[in-house]
Amino acid sequence: MQGILVVDKPEGFTSFDVVAKLRGICGTRRIGHGGTLDPMATGVLPVFVGGAAKAVDMQERADKMYTATMLLGRRTDTGDVTGETLEQAAVPADIGLDAVAAVLPRFTGPQQQVPPMYSAVKVNGQPLYKAARAGKTVERTPRPVTLHSIMLAGSPAPNEYILNIHCSKGTYVRVLLEDIGRALGVPATMAALRRTASGPYTLEMAYTLDELQRAREAGTLESLLLSVESVFTCLPAVEVNEETRRRLLNGAPTYRFPARDGRYRALCAGEFLGVCRVEKHILTVEKLFCERA
């Protein structure tokens, strides 16, 4: 069994909980996931089964899309409503949809973001959340992220605002919402988060854990797997002949290859071989996903 299962992660599960559950459903320990979701978050979690697990590190670089609910008037130690309240304040009556919409453009584009203490980011080999649970604060280095767009989608309740966010990998939505609150002059925290897309994978492609369990029992689980090639749909495809295929499988370069510089999906007779790179008409393999026959 090899391929990608797009899971709709339930609230209360860690990403590793999902992997552990799928190891039982799929009958293999060779499983990885493409991008951690907090336990309170739901939505798209690509899970890589069998040989597809080699693509996890490449998919994690993909952009993400979220629907987040921002709550104004409260700030917590975790950056979301599951944490202990650190600050609470009344929200001025003049802060509404128009005021929120007015500050959002400040947060689009490339920027530096400091990871939150309650995160899996490691400093000196230790995850930050372990230091946070011990009551410690660790100095963190800002990391580059890009917010491609932030759209205000409504206000379902007083002081709650729904935002649709398209961002680069490594973006912490909790931190973004706190920063938006700071720009408005009030504390803010995250009340809900749903990932709607991770790279090419969307909610429309996702299955619940119950649906995957039922598919296993019905013998249809493998039909739900997406090909590992689906990770790389953003790359152009290049067709290679049998001789070039053999060279790629052996890790040997192919000279005078007729393609422009860049990264490609390599195919031979329609079969996906892996990801390759062309530089100065020299074709080299980046990572293979086919069997070495």
Strand partners, 123: 126
- Give Dmax over CA atoms of the chain in angstroms: 71
**CB contact at 8 A, 28 and 19:** no
Q: What does DSSP assign to residue 75?
A: E
Helix (H) or strand (E) holding 29: none
Task: Please state the separation of Cα 225 from the chain's center in Å.
Answer: 19
Given 17, 38, 80, 210, which residue is catalytic? 38
38 noted as active-site residue: yes
Rounded to whole angstroms, the Cα distance separating 235 from 29 reads: 29
**CB contact at 8 A, 186 and 177:** no
Beta strands in 230-270 (DSSP E): 237-239, 262-268
Question: Looking at the chain, how many residues does it have?
Answer: 293
Residues catalogued as catalytic: 38
